[in-house]
Structure 1
C-alpha cells in the first residue's frame, strides 16, 4: 500500500481508508522539516499497519512551550478537516527534539485540565531517542548560549526546567520509549542521567515512580528512524555501517508497532480503572 501525503493545515497527512488510530508525528531539528522524505520508510510502515499519519514539519524557535502548545491547535484543525471521531485513538510519536514538545504537552496537561484548556490526556505517546535540548544545543556558538540564558533570551523551558515540569506532573502513564545503543546525542539506557536524556527519562518515569515503563533499546544510532526504502534496502544516514541497510535487519518499525498496540491496551485499562473508581 503506497502512502500518499496531502497538505492539510500546516502538516502533511496520509489518511488511511480504515484507520485503527491517528498518529501525529514530530521529528527532530533539520530532518524533521521534511518529515515525509526524511522519515519516509518509518511513516509508511505505520501507515501500512493501519494508522492515519499526521507528519508535522519541525518548527524552529527558542520558546519550546509555545511551539508545543501549537501542536494542539494543529491536531484540532486536522481532526475537523478529516472529521474522524474523537473516540479513534490519537497517538503522539516523536523523534529527537520532537519528543521534547510531546513531553511538554503531556506535562502541561495536568494544569490544562484544571483550567479547562486543551490537553493530551488519554492520548498515548511514543518517544524515540528523546532529546531535551538547551540553548547550547540549539545555538552551538561558544559563549552566545550563556549570554542568551543570562538575559532570559535562550531556549525556554530550559533542560532543567523541562525536567522539573515532567517530574512534578505525575503523568506519563501512557508513554513508551525506544532508545538506541549507539546514540551519541540522546544517549542510551546505560548512560548517566546527568548526561543521557534517555537514561534520565528511564530513571524518572520508571525507577523514581516504581512503575514499569514500556521501553526497549535496540541497535542503531540517533538517526536510525531516518531513511527511504529502495527495494529491500533502506538508504539511511548511518554512514559508519554503510548507507544501505537491509530491511530484514530493521528493528525500529516492528518495536514501534508493538508498543503502539500495547499503549492502546494500557489506555483501555486506565479508562476502566477510572470508571471503577468513580462507581465505588
Structure 2
C-alpha cells in the first residue's frame, strides 16, 4: 500500500493540521464528523490517514466546528484552504520537498465522513453560484423560496456575497504570495472547489433533530428559526440544481443506519455518482475510524474490534484508495477533453 516507511507527522497550520509528503502527487483535505472531527481526528482516523499519506498525498486535517449554521462553517473551510495553500508551498520549499503538486488546485481532493460530507457538498454546490451578484441573488432565492422567509433569504444572500467577494480577493492574494515564495504561478480554477475530486464516506446530511434530542425540542428550535441551516431539503436542492458532483465517489456501509437516507438520496434521486464510483462496503457508520497497533488495526466502534492490517485494508482502505485513483483518472481525462475542445 505505497511507501510504508513514511511517518505521518502533523504540524499546526492556521486552524488545521498538515502532514507534508516529501514527494506529493496531490493533497487530501479531510473533514470528519461531529464528535470525532472535533476531538482528536488525527487519533481516531489515524489508520485511514496514514494509508492515504503512504499513497503519496499531503494530508490537511480540517477542524470540525460545531454550529447550526453550516453555510458559515463551509465558508470557513474554504477560507482555510486559501490560508493553508501558500504555507504548503513555503513549508515544502524550506524543507526541500517537492511542491509542484500544490501549484494546481485540481491536485487538491476532499474526503469527508458523516456530517463532514455536508460541508464538502455545500462547497461543491457553491461552485454553481453565478459570478454576477444579481444572478447569484436569483439563484439563492430560487433555492430557498419554498423553505425560508424573506429575512432568512436576505441573510443568506448577504453572507454568500461577502464570502464570494472575500474568496475572490483571497485567491488573488494567494497567487501573489506563492509567486513571491517560489517565482511560479499557481492555477486556481474556481474560488470554490470546481474540478476537485471528492469522496463521501458514509455521508449524513442531517437536520436539527440529529443534533438535538428529544425531537420536540428540535422542532421548537426549528420553529424559532434557530435550527440547522441549510436544512436537508435546501442542501439537496442545492446539490440537485448545481448540476455538478461529476467527479465524486460514494462509500456506503451496509449496516449503517445513520447515513442510509443520504446515501439512498444520492443514488436513487440524484442518481450520482455512477455505479463505478460507488463502493458498498461492510460495516457500520464509524467504520472509517481505526488505530494501528503493530500488525493489527483496532476498529474502535465497529466489528471486528481487532483485525489484521491485511484484513482491514481489504475491507476498507484498499477500496477508498482505488476509488480515489479512479476518480483522479476520470478527472484527468475530463481535463484533457476540455483542453481539446478549447483548441
Which residue of structure 2 lines up, in the alignment, with residue 190 of structure 1? none
- Could you give the per-residue CA deviations for residues 24-79 of structure 1, whole angstroms, max 9, x where no partner exists? 00000111112101100000000011100001121100001110121111111111
Distance 1:127 1:272, change over 3 A: same
- The CA distance in 1 between the partners of 2:263 and 2:300, in whole Å, is 21
Matched, 1:62 2:126: no
Quick check: 1:113–1:119 contact (8 Å CA) kept in 2? Answer: no
Q: Which has the higher helix share?
A: 2
- Structure with max Cα Rg: 2
Which residue of structure 2 lines up, in the alignment, with residue 227 of structure 1? 290
Quick check: 1:186–1:198 contact (8 Å CA) kept in 2? Answer: yes
Runs (5+) with no aligned partner, structure 1 = 188-195
Please, which of 29, 35, 41 is the counterpart of residue 41 of structure 2? 35
Q: Quick check: 115-124 or 226-235, which moved more?
A: 115-124
Partner-residue secondary structure (3-state), 1:73: helix
TM-score (norm 1): 0.90
Matched, 1:206 2:271: yes
- Could you give the per-residue CA deviations for residues 121-169 of structure 1, whole angstroms, max 9, x where no partner exists? 0111000000001000011233111111112110000011111110101
Which residue of structure 1 lines up, in the alignment, with residue 9 of structure 2? 4
Please, which of 212, 216, 221 is the counterpart of residue 279 of structure 2? 216
Deviation at 1:243, TM superposition (A): 2.3
Please, which of 108, 130, 148 is the counterpart of residue 90 of structure 1? 108
Which residue of structure 2 lines up, in the alignment, with residue 192 of structure 1? none
Which residue of structure 1 lines up, in the alignment, with residue 322 of structure 2? 258
Which residue of structure 1 lines up, in the alignment, with residue 208 of structure 2? 135
* RMSD across aligned positions (CA): 1.8
Which residue of structure 1 lines up, in the alignment, with residue 249 of structure 2? 176
Deviation at 1:112, TM superposition (A): 5.6
Deviation at 1:114, TM superposition (A): 5.4
Quick check: 2:113–2:200 contact (8 Å CA) kept in 1? Answer: yes
Which residue of structure 1 lines up, in the alignment, with residue 177 of structure 2? none
- The CA distance in 1 between the partners of 2:64 and 2:214, in whole Å, is 22
Quick check: 1:23–1:54 contact (8 Å CA) kept in 2? Answer: yes
Q: Which has the higher strand share?
A: 1
- The CA distance in 1 between the partners of 2:223 and 2:316, in whole Å, is 40
Which residue of structure 1 lines up, in the alignment, with residue 159 of structure 2? none
Q: Quick check: 227-236 or 270-279, which moved more?
A: 270-279
Deviation at 1:102, TM superposition (A): 0.2
Please, which of 64, 85, 101 is the counterpart of residue 119 of structure 2? 101
Matched, 1:270 2:334: yes
Deviation at 1:216, TM superposition (A): 0.9
**Structure 1 segments (4+ residues) deviating >4 Å:** 112-117
Matched, 1:246 2:308: yes
Quick check: 2:287–2:299 contact (8 Å CA) kept in 1? Answer: yes
Quick check: 2:255–2:283 contact (8 Å CA) kept in 1? Answer: yes
Deviation at 1:262, TM superposition (A): 1.3
Partner-residue secondary structure (3-state), 1:122: coil
Quick check: 1:172–1:205 contact (8 Å CA) kept in 2? Answer: no
Quick check: 1:22–1:51 contact (8 Å CA) kept in 2? Answer: yes
Quick check: 1:205–1:213 contact (8 Å CA) kept in 2? Answer: no
Q: Quick check: 148-157 or 113-122, which moved more?
A: 113-122
What is the number of equivalent residue pairs in this alignment? Answer: 268
